[in-house]
């Protein structure tokens, strides 16, 4: 939450100015004027009888006034009383009490008169009364014996003091007695009990009266109260009471409300306007009644109505005649209600409507004094002149009295006087002095010359021009040296001469001139106005939520007028920051280190200048894990349930989301706490289900968004009674560990599940589907029992039942188990193999009879291995492979076979004990496949027109080789490709001499082997025929010449310089001619990428295995088709790693990588051209 407020000093000045406007124009003290009372004591003046009495009366006038006093309506000669003195140049009386005087002797009504040659002013009637704080009268107080549930009133009856004392009730230890809806103090000081309870019994109910004026406290004698409950009455004193005694042994009964105060059904109340209205209703009843207030025929006044003393007191402040009416209090409980109506009448002592104001006139002028007041009843208005009733005062022909107005016509200097207006009714009076001063004075300006006013932009500017003159001068304002008279709606001209600029702007800055003139003269004065930029908080503090012990920072960045010096103050909850080094105040921030709970609150940044003040606030919320719950209580204890209640700890500003309840079993697992349940954070009670024979303790953990609280203190322990077990062991199983036994296992019950001492288990079993009786045995608190001598792998019905010293658990459910397994007895029969292709075969077998499995059938295992390769007739180390087929499958796929090979396999059945005997070995052969690539290709003995090729046979022929295929094509210096030549070579050859080749020419060779199935993978190689000797000699001669070496170095240097220039220009964003020409012509032959297939058009080593054709820079897209297989991968067994081609063979395991066939046609592959290289560079 964030708020911002701004207080401008100019606005405060405006308020002060408006207050000044309502007072009459002051006459400078250097001019003749009648007396004016400036200070006097209050009308009702209660004095401390131990101190001197000071009765104030101060006045001003010219000449200075003299003072006199009356006491009780007659002249008070202070010179005749040695105890009374008057202060010099003052009318204030000092009555010396501390040196022997008695305050009671000076009680009375005093009035002061201040007089000079122009008139006399009088003070109010001041009633002097010494304060009184009398002692309580001695009285014998009988003990109050009262029955539980009855009402009671303890009377205070304080002594009558002046002023009345403040009443409160305390005990002997000076501690205030607690009050509530049931017990409370009335307005008269009595202590009311709506109904008494046993805890009200005590002997020290003491009423105290505090007299603030004398700073004394008086104490009443202690009052004793003894409350008898019905049980104590029956047990102790019932025998001593008669049948008619009020303490008959009746039960405490509920009673409907009755009013203890006020009594009756109606009452009246008179209150004076402006005072506080207090109405009270206190009721007896059981249960304690609740009080409600209404105003008949209307609403209780908003913003002025308050309820006190647990709504037993209705308080309305600043009452007016509109608050008169009937107010009803209603006391209600579950048995009924009672009510009382208070008729309120609001009267009013006189109050001013228009008080008379001093009147300054020049000779010959006219004027009026007006005195208007109101009240209830309407006040009487009377006039006095110089303290004398106007009817007997000296006559003045210029004066005429007309009710509440005195009219003056053509006044002369002798018309100066002080007039008093008195407005009175039965509730009080008002007295006001107002003089008429007849003067002839030229204008004078009282505001200092060249006074500087500074205001904030967009706020009012008030430029003073306090003046005096008689007749009253006229005021005009000008701006600047030669400015015209100010007028218009942007200015406000006040009667006291002040110029108001309601919304001052920066251009309002300047010099302003005030001119005052009347018929006797003229005067002017200049003032200066400066308009400043407002102070602003441009980065306000923001609402922060921080965890305990963290750090937090509030920002307060300001902008202000450069000529103003701001001061920044930080407050916490509208008070100074704590004196704590953790609070670090920076230039424009406040940082709090190691935040604690007490730092929670509202932080306000206040920026003050001499002209304005701005502030911004933000709330800091400190959050933490909740405090642990406390006061855990167990109620409603039953055999299988209990109610747990608790009081939540402080949530630390983060609402509690839930409570976790844990329990400890002190009987079985002391010190170990277990989760029981959890409830929402709004719940503080829970009904808990219990188990028998557990010594429970509970604790509660509160959880909020920050985390979990510490656990509460444990509750009291509660031991539940023992009982039969409610449940049996779980996870009962029967699995044999040997062929002739049955191992029965189960999960034991936990300690609290035993429900009582002596936990044991009854283990029962019988063979399934055989008419056998149950065999049972009772074992101790274990989790396993072994039955020996069982047949091999037969089903058993098993059950395990819990029991303790009190009896058995409910009948358990039965489970099926099996005795121990043995190895299978027979092998699968009718094993058949179907060869699908050169690398894949499918095997079938007949299932074995289940009774021969002698255990849980887990599946079949196929063992297979390669005997020999049919192409080489050579044996090698036999590596058996195993495939497992789960369940009762009777076929499977054998992948990854080698082509043209002889294999054997057998099949075995598997159970939990192991494998059975193997079926007879089955022999099968795989057909031929394509060979792998030749093992090597070497090119030797280059001559001008021939090359010698040597090769090795394929590592994996995968069949009988029929021939080798050799393809080759030339690659010339212009990157044009010659024709592709193909040669078929007999399978028994291992070398070949190629003749009739071009000299000094590069050739690329593609070589692979073939079987009857097809061609295998190819290998590639390149070679160059040599040059003839003459050409070589010429080239060597040129290459060894010095001039040729120098020329080549110069060309290389020039190319390097050109590349550097191009690189620099490219970095600067410029173009160069080669680039522009390329962009303009866009030759498709030199583009870096072809549009049709998106492949790069440059010669790449990655394409070395592809034959190149003239006229094309990329080979055509040719793919090698692979054999399809109808078998699904789900038919393959488990345990063989690797991926398979569609024909079922392992990818890359037994055959070399296949390469694409060389493309037909006249395609070519070019090396990168210089232009392409440049394009790549730039």
pLDDT at residue 66 in the model: 96
On the CB side of 1065, how many CA atoms lie within 13 Å of its CA? Answer: 14
pLDDT at residue 668 in the model: 87
* 760-767 vs 775-779, strand pairing mode: antiparallel
pLDDT at residue 234 in the model: 57
* 589-592 vs 583-585, strand pairing mode: antiparallel
Which pair of structure tokens corresponds to residue 695? 């010594």
pLDDT at residue 1031 in the model: 54
Report helix, strand or coil for 868: strand
Which pair of structure tokens corresponds to residue 926? 């795989």
pLDDT at residue 854 in the model: 92
Tell which residue, 884, 885, 932, 904, has the closest CA to residue 841: 904
CB 634: neighbour CB atoms within 10 A? Answer: 17
How far CA 868 is from CA of 897, 958, 1022, in Å, comes to: 12, 12, 37
Edge-to-edge strands of the sheet including 313-316? Answer: 277-280, 313-316, 305-308
Element (H, E) at 1051: helix 1042-1067
Which pair of structure tokens corresponds to residue 586? 């920076």
Low-confidence ranges of the chain (pLDDT < 50): 1-24, 237-239, 241-249, 1032, 1035-1036, 1069-1178
Rounded Cα gap, residues 666 and 643, in angstroms: 19
pLDDT at residue 770 in the model: 85
**Number of residues in the chain:** 1178
pLDDT at residue 877 in the model: 66
Report helix, strand or coil for 338: strand
Residues 34-85 have pLDDT tens digits of 999 999 999 999 999 889 999 999 999 999 999 999 999 999 999 999 899 9
pLDDT at residue 26 in the model: 81
pLDDT at residue 75 in the model: 94
Residues 160-195 have pLDDT tens digits of 888 999 999 999 989 999 999 999 999 999 999 999
Tell which residue, 255, 246, 156, 247, has the closest CA to residue 210: 156
Model pTM?
0.54
Torsion of CA 418, 424, 427, 431, to 10 degrees: -10
Query: What are 451's strand-pairing partners?
Result: 527
Rounded to the nearest 10 degrees, what angle do helices 1170-1177 and 1042-1067 cross at? 40
pLDDT at residue 1107 in the model: 42
Rounded Cα gap, residues 192 and 207, in angstroms: 13
User: Residue 12 has what DSSP assignment?
Assistant: H
Which pair of structure tokens corresponds to residue 107? 């009680």
Tell which residue, 460, 462, 464, has the closest CA to residue 448: 464
């Amino acid at each position: 939450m964030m708020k911002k407020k701004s207080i401008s000093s100019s606005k405060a000045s405006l308020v002060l100015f408006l207050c000044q406007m309502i007072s009459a124009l002051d006459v400078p003290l250097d001019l003749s004027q009648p007396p004016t009372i400036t200070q006097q004591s209050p009308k009702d003046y209660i004095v401390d009888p131990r101190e001197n009495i000071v009765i104030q009366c101060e006045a001003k006038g010219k000449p200075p006034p003299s003072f006199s006093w009356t006491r009780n309506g007659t002249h008070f000669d202070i010179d005749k009383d040695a105890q009374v003195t008057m202060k010099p140049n003052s009318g204030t009386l000092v009555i010396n009490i501390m040196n022997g005087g008695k305050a009671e002797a000076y009680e009375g009504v005093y009035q002061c008169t201040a007089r000079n040659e122009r008139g006399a002013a009088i003070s109010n009637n001041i009633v002097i009364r010494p304060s009184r704080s009398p002692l309580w009268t001695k009285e014998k107080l009988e003990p109050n014996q009262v029955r539980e549930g009855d009402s009671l009133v303890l009377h205070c009856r304080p002594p009558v003091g002046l002023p009345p004392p403040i009443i409160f009730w305390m005990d002997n230890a000076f501690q205030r007695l607690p009050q509530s809806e049931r017990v409370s103090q009335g307005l008269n000081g009595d202590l009311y009990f709506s109904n008494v309870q046993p805890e009200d019994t005590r002997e020290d109910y003491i009423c105290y009266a505090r007299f603030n004026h004398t700073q004394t406290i008086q104490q009443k004698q202690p009052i004793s109260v003894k409350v008898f409950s019905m049980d104590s009455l029956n047990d102790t004193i019932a025998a001593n009471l008669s049948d008619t005694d009020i303490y008959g042994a009746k039960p405490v009964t509920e009673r409907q409300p009755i009013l203890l105060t006020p009594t009756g059904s109606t009452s009246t109340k008179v209150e004076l306007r402006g005072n506080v209205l207090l109405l009270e209703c206190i009721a007896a009843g059981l249960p304690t009644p609740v009080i409600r207030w209404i105003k008949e025929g209307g609403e209780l006044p908003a913003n002025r109505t308050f309820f006190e003393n647990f709504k037993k007191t209705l308080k309305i402040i600043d009452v007016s005649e509109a608050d008169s009416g009937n107010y009803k209090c209603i006391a209600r409980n579950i048995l009924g209600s009672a009510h009382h109506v208070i008729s309120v009448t609001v009267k009013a002592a006189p109050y001013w409507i228009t008080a008379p104001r001093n009147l300054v006139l020049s000779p010959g002028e006219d004027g009026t004094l007006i005195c208007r007041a109101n009240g209830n009843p309407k006040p009487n208005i009377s006039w006095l002149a110089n303290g004398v009733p106007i009817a007997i005062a000296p006559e003045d022909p210029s004066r005429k009295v007309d009710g509440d107005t005195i009219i003056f016509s053509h006044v002369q200097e002798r018309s100066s006087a002080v007039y008093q207006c008195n407005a009175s009714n039965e509730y009080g009076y008002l007295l006001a002095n107002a003089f008429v001063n007849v003067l002839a004075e030229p204008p004078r300006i009282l505001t200092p010359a060249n006074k500087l006013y500074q205001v904030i932009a967009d706020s009012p500017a008030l430029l003073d021009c306090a003046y005096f003159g008689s007749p009253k001068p006229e005021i005009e304002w000008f701006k600047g040296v030669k400015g015209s008279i100010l007028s218009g709606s942007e200015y406000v001209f006040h009667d006291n001469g002040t110029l108001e600029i309601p919304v001052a702007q920066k251009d309002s800055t300047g010099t302003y001139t005030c001119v005052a003139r009347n018929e006797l003269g003229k005067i002017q004065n200049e003032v200066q106005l400066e308009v400043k930029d407002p102070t602003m908080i441009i980065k306000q503090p923001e609402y922060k939520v921080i965890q305990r012990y963290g750090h937090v920072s509030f920002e307060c960045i300001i902008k202000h007028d450069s000529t103003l010096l701001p001061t920044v103050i930080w407050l916490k909850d509208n008070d100074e920051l704590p004196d704590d080094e953790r609070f670090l105040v920076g230039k424009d921030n406040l940082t709090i280190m190691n935040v604690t709970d007490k730092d929670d609150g509202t932080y306000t940044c206040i920026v003050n200048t001499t002209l304005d003040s701005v502030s911004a606030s933000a709330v800091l919320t400190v959050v933490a894990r909740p405090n642990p719950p406390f006061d855990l209580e167990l109620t409603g204890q039953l055999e299988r349930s209990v109610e747990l209640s608790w009081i939540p700890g402080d949530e630390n500003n983060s609402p509690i989301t839930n409570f976790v309840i844990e329990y400890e079993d002190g009987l079985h697992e002391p010190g170990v706490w277990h989760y029981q349940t959890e409830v929402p954070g709004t719940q503080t009670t829970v009904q808990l289900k219990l188990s028998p024979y557990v010594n429970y303790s509970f604790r509660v953990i509160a959880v909020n968004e920050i985390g979990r609280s510490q656990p509460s203190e444990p509750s009291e322990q509660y031991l539940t009674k023992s009982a039969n077990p409610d449940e049996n062991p779980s996870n009962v199983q029967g699995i044999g560990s040997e062929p002739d036994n049955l191992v029965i296992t189960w999960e034991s019950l936990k300690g609290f599940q035993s429900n009582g001492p002596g936990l044991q288990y009854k283990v029962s079993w019988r063979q399934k589907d055989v008419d056998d009786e149950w065999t049972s045995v009772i074992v101790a608190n274990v989790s396993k029992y072994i039955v020996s001598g069982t047949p091999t792998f037969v089903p058993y019905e098993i059950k395990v039942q819990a029991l303790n010293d009190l009896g058995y658990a409910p009948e358990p459910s039965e489970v099926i188990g099996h005795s121990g397994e043995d190895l299978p007895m027979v092998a699968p029969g009718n094993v058949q193999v179907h060869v699908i292709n050169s690398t894949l075969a499918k095997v079938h077998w007949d299932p074995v009879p289940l009774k021969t499995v002698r255990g849980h059938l887990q599946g079949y295992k196929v063992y297979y291995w390669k005997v020999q390769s049919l192409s080489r007739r050579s044996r090698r180390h036999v590596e058996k492979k195993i495939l497992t087929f789960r369940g009762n499958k009777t076929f499977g796929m054998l992948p990854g076979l080698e082509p043209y090979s002889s294999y054997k396999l057998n099949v075995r059945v598997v159970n939990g004990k192991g494998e059975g005997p193997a079926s007879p070995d089955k022999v099968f052969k795989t057909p031929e496949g394509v060979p792998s690539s030749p093992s090597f290709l070497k090119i030797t003995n280059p001559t001008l027109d021939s090359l010698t090729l040597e090769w090795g046979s394929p590592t994996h022929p995968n069949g009988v080789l029929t021939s080798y295929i050799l393809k080759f094509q030339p690659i010339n210096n212009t990157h044009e490709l010659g024709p592709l030549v193909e040669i078929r070579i007999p399978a028994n050859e291992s070398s070949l001499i190629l003749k009739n080749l071009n000299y000094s020419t590069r050739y690329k060779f593609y070589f692979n082997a073939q079987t009857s199935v097809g061609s295998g993978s190819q290998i590639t190689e390149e070679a160059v025929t040599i040059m003839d000797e003459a050409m070589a000699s010429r080239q060597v001669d040129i290459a060894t010449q010095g001039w040729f070496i120098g020329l080549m170095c110069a060309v290389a240097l020039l190319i390097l310089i050109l590349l550097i220039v191009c690189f620099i220009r490219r970095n600067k964003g410029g173009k160069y001619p080669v680039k522009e020409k390329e962009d303009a012509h866009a030759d498709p032959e030199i583009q870096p990428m072809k549009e049709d297939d998106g492949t790069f058009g440059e010669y790449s080593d990655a394409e070395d295995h592809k034959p190149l054709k003239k006229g094309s820079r990329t080979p055509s897209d040719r793919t090698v088709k692979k054999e399809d297989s109808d078998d699904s991968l789900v038919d393959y067994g488990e345990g063989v790693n690797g991926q398979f081609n569609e024909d079922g063979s392992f990818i890359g395991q037994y055959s070399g990588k296949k390469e694409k066939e060389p493309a037909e046609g006249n395609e070519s592959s070019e090396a990168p051209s210089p232009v392409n290289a440049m394009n790549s560079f730039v």
